[in-house]
Amino acid sequence: MRWRKALGESVGRIQPDLIIPTGRRKGQNPSLASVYRALGRAREADGGAPAPQDGGGR
């Protein structure tokens, strides 16, 4: 997922290819918010800038 984002692919195009492997939503696609959250956490783990915190929205 991160390499596709690094190549400039939009999260909206990446999301349908992801499948939740376990749990209540097994076999379904994650929400866009979940994908953005995962990318932000991965960036933090790599030592990049911290992911923006959810400020409550618009």
CA-CA distances (angstroms) from residue 48 to 10, 34, 37, 40?
A: 20, 19, 14, 9
pLDDT at 20: 94
What is the mean pLDDT of each successive set of 10 residues along the chain, which is 58 residues long?
A: 86 92 95 92 79 54
How long a stretch of residues is the chain? 58
pTM of the model: 0.68
Say what the pLDDT of residue 46 is. Answer: 82
Would you state the pLDDT for residue 56? 52
